[in-house]
Amino acid sequence: MKQMLIASLLAAGLCGSAAAQTTPPDTAQHQKQELARGDPARWYKEDRGNKAQLATLRKEIGAALTEALADCRQQPAAERKDCQAAARQTYRDDMANLAQLNAEAHQPPKTDVTGE
């Protein structure tokens, strides 16, 4: 019984994640081609300087905006405008706090010495 419940939940989760896919088909095809070649070497090179780190963060924030806007296009028309406005506001906020976000991203992880 317990195994059937877990299997049902996994199946429902997989169906839900497939329905929520918003990657355009041409982008998905390009991603498949890239993955077939293996991981790019750049993934394993850390951004050494602050300027490079900020450039990477700008790219990531821009990519997040693109994904958010694609998700908004999946919304009903009545909700789409508010969704797009929220996505653009998040983009503006993130770009305004770029230095702070970069500093937070490059702090060493905090360890919990209490064991909680």
DSSP states of 36-56 as a string? Answer: HT---GGGGS---SHHHHHHH
Query: Model's pTM, two decimal places?
Result: 0.57
Q: Name the 3-class secondary structure at 110.
A: coil
Closest alpha carbon to 68 in 54, 89, 98, 53 = 89
pLDDT tens for 71-112 read: 999 999 999 999 999 999 999 999 999 999 988 887 877 777
Two structure tokens written together for 78: 């009545």
- Computed on alpha carbons and rounded to an integer, the radius of gyration of the chain in Å comes to 19
Q: How confident is the model at residue 20 (pLDDT cuts 50, 70, 90)?
A: low
Query: Which comes out higher in pLDDT, residue 47 or 114?
Result: 114
Q: What is the per-residue pLDDT across 43-72, written as a single tens digit (0 to 9) for each?
A: 777 767 888 889 989 999 999 999 999 999
